[in-house]
Structure 1
């Protein structure tokens, strides 16, 4: 019977890993895909490799701590309860992926474990409170940092990087000279554009690595904590499942993060990825499960909003002299890329704001924000009700 339960547990853990791949590939490589830096298949391959690298190196530490720090009694992780926790994590993430929204894996997993802890009176409220505070603060920081960059520095950054995008792939691969292919920059693409492409992909790889350090625990920590699954096989199983999710269901979240919310030029993609990656690394450094999916989303929104508000001076807005706040534009992020000096704040021509059909998509943004809060709630409430009232637990 125990062998059957373990087999079921491994299948559920792989289901969780599958959905982790689907929900975290978008935030890591959505900006790169949206900017045309890499294809979806290349993004999936990079996500798989760097996620596994992060999981195999630092991730095992998070696996060891997730089942002990958040609950006061690690004994609550039996084989049966571990399967239940993994089931609710996977179910909630699957709901987010079905709607094409990259839900926070860390929030979903912590929510399910918290539901188990509350149901058994074993939740460490101090640890939980610290995690929740940072979940609120970090996206706000990401939004405002990106807004300030978009409003005051984006034009200068865009001219400095000079990355006017050309059609097609920046790099071309030549396989005619033997077994080893040679990679070169396409003739009509600039070296600075190539540097920009490499930069945004490297940052995506860093985010994938960071995801592996924290999110592998969300898939296998309950089983490893119960003593039923060894660490190394667990990481191999979880990494394989994440790769499957990255190559399949992640295509929808890549579209959401890369094009449906906003049409990111390469400079904007680098800004969003840099801000998000920096916050994720900081949160991981202080031991907080990083909700980088929310941070990345709010960074995109903040950058677009900052670019769209350039026609209005802060003093005019405070005095009420501005007729109205300009709409947030997806193509406002691409402004100032023609080499001309950016107009001073408040003197930018409002007619440069695109038509309503080109505006920042509020419906997609609302769907993303709503689902990113609903998905963790599903896992938390479902786990609590099950572990509190189900007789077989």
Structure 2
């Protein structure tokens, strides 16, 4: 029976890694080909390699935080949490909404612990939760600052349409490098969160295979829908603005992950995108603030609450 539960849990972990590939990785690739116009196949191949390095080199810190510092789940508890995450994550993927599953994972863990009485480190839980909500605004501030400084330094480049086009063409390579930085951080952070649930149950090398396999499969099979949503519909980014958004999000994520604190890749990237938009000063500030409030606070908070309730209910039934 124990072996069966473990197999089911591993399969769910693989599915959630696929979900990361569809939702989170898709959002990242969307910013790339929505701004820098890097060919999609090229972006996917190199970004996948960067993500694999992120998983292999840095995800162990997030895995330790989830599986050791935050909570130690028995198989029945692990199954309860995974079922809740799978249900909500499936709805997110089906709707093509670029919202991070990180909130769902952390919320489900907290909800199960509250209802079942499982021992959880509330200090770590509070730190993770606060960090997830702060990281988008950190990325927003950094992106805003970089854009403002760059526009001040290269004011002459914005004096005519011809000069603007020439200036933007220079960001093809920097945008590609920023994409690699961001997807490296994505692998360490987002995949680390998913495989972290299985930490201590199977070897780390097997966890890496599960995470990487699901990630790549996700972007290949269904990631285009989310990629189009964030890269084309949600964001209006030129090569320079795409570079700034990806770089700001990647640096913020690496800073958090290096300390073992997971954050939301998608929300951090959206925060950076909003920061660039605000710095351009050609948007309705009040409308932008309303959108920011919805995407960066209200929706994530709703996901946390819903996942807590669902995981707690499932844990009570099981």
The answer to whether 1:375 aligns with 2:275 is no
Pairing partner for 1:208 from 183, 186, 203: 183
Aligned to 1:197: 172
CA spacing shift, 1:108–1:157, aligned 2, 3 Å: farther
Q: Which runs of 5+ in 2 are unaligned?
A: none
The alignment partner of 2:199 has SS state of: helix
Structure 1 residue 260 displacement after superposition: 1.0
Task: Identify which of 195, 201, 222 aligns with 1:249.
Answer: 222
Which protein has the larger Cα radius of gyration, Structure 1 or Structure 2? Answer: 1
Give the equivalent residue in structure 2 for 1:230. Answer: 203
Residues 146 and 262 (structure 1), Cα distance of their counterparts in 2 relative to 1, 3 Å cut: same
* Alpha carbons 1:21, 1:244 under 8 Å: kept: yes
Residue of structure 2 in register with 1:327 after alignment: 284
Q: Which has the higher contact order (CA 8 A, sep 6+)?
A: 2
CA deviations on 1:137-185 (whole Å, 9 max, x unpaired) are 32223223434455564364475699x89xxxxxxxxxxxxxxxxxxxx
Asked whether 1:79 is paired with 2:75, we answer yes
Q: State TM-score, norm by structure 1.
A: 0.70
Tell me the residue number matched to 2:134.
137
Structure 1 or 2: more helix by fraction: 2
Is 1:19–2:16 an aligned residue pair? no
- The answer as to 2:87 corresponding to 1:91 is yes
Where does residue 254 of structure 2 map in the other structure?
Answer: 281
Distance of aligned partners of 1:221 and 1:144 in 2 relative to their CA distance in 1, 3 Å threshold: closer
Equivalent residue pairs, number: 316
SS at match of 1:382: helix
Which residue pairs with 1:386 in the alignment?
Answer: 314
Q: Distance in 2 between matches of 1:42 and 1:98?
A: 26
Contact 2:193–2:262 under 8 Å retained in 1: no
Query: Structure 1: 5+ residue runs without aligned partners?
Result: 166-188, 310-325, 329-358
2:194 pairs with 1:219: yes
Taking a change above 3 Å as real, the CA distance of residues 131 and 40 of structure 1, as seen in their structure-2 partners, is same
Give me the CA root mean square deviation: 3.3
